[in-house]
């Protein structure tokens, strides 16, 4: 393998991760033929096919899986090296790769902006995905860490508690339940409920809370994003429970009302999760420190919510 290049490794890793030449080309801002040619050249250097076609998908061969493991390790080590060199120069810089579940997208960009003001030489990449895709990225060791509200079981992971996540019940402005001093949990459970898809951390937390009180909710509609749920609530299709951090605009504009319900808000935690054994470079470590600092500020703000 004395003829491969780092660029071929990068391209191969993207193709193997996406199982698609087209999606890899889009991510890398290359043409599909250019991506295909580089993979073919890597296969020629290795002397073995790296992909095979199964149905309509391409999947790595055994040689491809071994090459993927090496590519992932090499690219991760280079990200660490970039951050280390910046630290030796007395700065924080280099790549920062973070993935977040969709509910975290409402606060993460603002924190990234603060981080870039402190460390303008950092090159961040933020990926927003649902929980299922975040788990895939964790398994593939794609990111420095992933931000999620529930640490998955059965995986060898390290989780850092970074900030509080309040889950609050909401209804459209003018809803009959809005304005009540304290509602029993049964009143909320009796309403038409709008929920995320099964597997959502917020949904699991709400269903667990109801189950502990011997209650069940009637999910009238499953929606694939927080934005879709907010729009449906505003339209009067039902009530829901969402992260308080996702509701700033709707609460300020009076389009959505917070409901005061026994047992709420549900106090959960945002975690920065990484595979066990994965070393955080100086850049990721500095960003984790900022996350924890911001988390303390958010905790103080949330203390006003009863």
Provide the CATH number for the domain around residue 157. Answer: 3.40.190.10
Please tell me whether residues 145 and 278 are part of one structural domain: yes
Please tell me whether residues 175 and 263 are part of one structural domain: yes
Please tell me whether residues 78 and 60 are part of one structural domain: yes
Please tell me whether residues 78 and 102 are part of one structural domain: no
Q: In this structure, are residues 283 and 92 in contact, taking their beta carbons and an 8 Å threshold? A: yes
10-residue stretch averages of pLDDT, the chain, 306 residues long: 78 88 87 90 88 85 88 79 67 83 87 91 87 85 87 87 91 90 91 86 88 85 89 94 90 93 90 83 87 82 60
Q: Is the bond leading into 265 cis (omega within 30 degrees of zero)?
A: yes
List residues bridging with 157 in a β-sheet. Answer: 275
Q: In this structure, are residues 221 and 237 in contact, taking their beta carbons and an 8 Å threshold? A: yes
The confidence score (pLDDT) of residue 89 equals: 64
Neighbours of 292 (CB within 10 A): 14
Neighbours of 66 (CB within 10 A): 14
Determine the structural domain holding residue 129 and report its residue range: 91-163+269-302
Please tell me whether residues 176 and 261 are part of one structural domain: yes
Please tell me whether residues 86 and 137 are part of one structural domain: no
Please tell me whether residues 112 and 39 are part of one structural domain: no
Please tell me whether residues 126 and 198 are part of one structural domain: no
Residue at a domain's end among 59, 90, 121:
90
| Separation between Cα atoms, residue 9 and residue 200, nearest integer Å | 34
Please tell me whether residues 154 and 185 are part of one structural domain: no
Structural element, H or E, at residue 112: helix 108-118
Please tell me whether residues 48 and 69 are part of one structural domain: yes
The confidence score (pLDDT) of residue 1 equals: 47
Residue at a domain's end among 62, 90, 118:
90
Q: Is the pTM of this model over 0.85?
A: no
Please tell me whether residues 251 and 223 are part of one structural domain: yes
Please tell me whether residues 263 and 288 are part of one structural domain: no
Domain count, the chain: 3
């Amino acid at each position: 393998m004395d003829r491969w290049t780092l660029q071929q490794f990068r391209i191969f890793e993207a193709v193997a991760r996406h199982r698609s030449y087209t999606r890899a080309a889009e991510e890398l801002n290359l043409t599909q033929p250019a991506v295909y040619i580089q993979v073919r050249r890597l296969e020629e250097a290795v002397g073995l096919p790296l992909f095979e076609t199964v149905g309509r998908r391409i999947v790595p061969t055994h040689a491809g899986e071994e090459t993927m493991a090496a590519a992932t390790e090499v690219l991760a080590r280079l990200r660490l090296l970039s951050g280390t060199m910046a630290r030796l120069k007395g700065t924080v810089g280099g790549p920062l790769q973070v993935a977040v579940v969709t509910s975290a997208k409402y606060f993460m960009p603002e924190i990234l902006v603060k981080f870039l003001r402190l460390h303008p030489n950092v090159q961040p990449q933020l990926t927003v995905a649902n929980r299922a895709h975040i788990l895939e990225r964790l398994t593939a060791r794609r990111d420095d860490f992933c931000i999620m509200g529930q640490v998955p079981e059965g995986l060898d992971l390290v989780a850092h508690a970074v900030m509080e996540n309040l889950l609050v019940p909401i209804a459209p402005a003018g809803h009959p339940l809005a304005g009540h001093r304290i509602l029993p949990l049964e009143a909320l459970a009796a309403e038409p409920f709008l929920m995320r898809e099964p597997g959502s951390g917020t949904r699991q937390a709400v269903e667990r809370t109801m189950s502990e009180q011997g209650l069940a909710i009637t999910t009238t509609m499953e929606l694939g994003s927080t934005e879709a749920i907010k729009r449906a609530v505003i339209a009067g299709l039902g009530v829901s429970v969402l992260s308080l951090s996702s509701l700033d605009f709707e609460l300020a504009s009076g389009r959505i009302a917070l409901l005061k319900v026994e047992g709420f808000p549900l106090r959960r935690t945002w975690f920065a999760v990484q595979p066990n054994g994965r070393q955080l470079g100086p850049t990721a470590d500095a960003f984790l420190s900022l996350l924890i600092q911001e988390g303390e500020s958010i905790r103080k703000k949330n203390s006003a919510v009863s």
